[in-house]
Structure 1
């Protein structure tokens, strides 16, 4: 995600943190739909974090970590391949794909959606028990409406 901001974090717009979290859950749901194999997603909720270099009372980012464990371990590769193939069709740009530097050399996919101002990092954790995809989404910076403060959760 790129924008005019000096730290490379785009400005999303004005929103309350609750509304921004709802938006992030919808983005996560869209990614979940793209996985396209049977399985179980974790039930984690989005949270609020600071925007680097911005007033913490008025600016924030939303993060949403979750995971997906396919019903069959054999479907893990298919789930990752589907994301690699389908995310670009939904406006995502894959900016990184390949093994990471962990001991297990897990395959990592990082994609940015400039329209939604969200980035996702997906790690295929094939050696976990059970095998799963670990997903971390993070938004650009939001500003709360005038007269309001950031709600933290």
Structure 2
């Protein structure tokens, strides 16, 4: 397992997120969050093993545009060095379309879900993205 600087990993995770946003190419509002570091659940917390996570969403965009963004991911991620490991429904109550991909070398994973509008709950359509780094030992 690599020993890395947490700030560098967070920066790399945000850079990877920006690339996913470019590929999606959906014009809407994007939540303003930065990458966060959290302990890797696969390891004992005393070992100082972490991963960076960058969750964000696109909203206030037409559902059809978000769907096209998902289609672009299916085509462009493999060209960009990613392997799609899941492309189907997420199994939640809303059964949203989901793409999970891992970068070449498995430094990063991305989980993208497309949520439909739910009028009864006043919930607009949403494209939810989480980019996660591989686990690393903190310097």
TM-score (normalised: structure 2): 0.86
- Over the aligned positions, Cα root-mean-square deviation in angstroms equals 1.8
Q: Deviations over 1:54-93 (max 9, x none)?
A: 4546321111111112533331211111111111110110
Deviation at 1:40, TM superposition (A): 1.8
| Matches of 1:53 and 1:71, distance apart in 2 | 39
Deviations 1:88-144 (A, max 9, x none): 110110000111212221101100113351111100112253212111121111122
> 1:27 Cα deviation (Å)?
0.3
CA spacing shift, 1:56–1:20, aligned 2, 3 Å: farther
**More deviation in 86-95 or 122-131?**
122-131
Count of aligned pairs:
134
CA distance in 2, matches of 1:69, 1:118: 24
- Structure with greater helix percent: 2
CA positional deviation for 1:49 = 1.3
- Give the structure 2 partner of residue 151 of structure 1: none
> Which segments of 5 or more consecutive residues in structure 2 lack a partner in the other structure?
none
SS at match of 1:115: helix
| 1:118–1:103 CA distance, 2 compared to 1 (3 A) | same
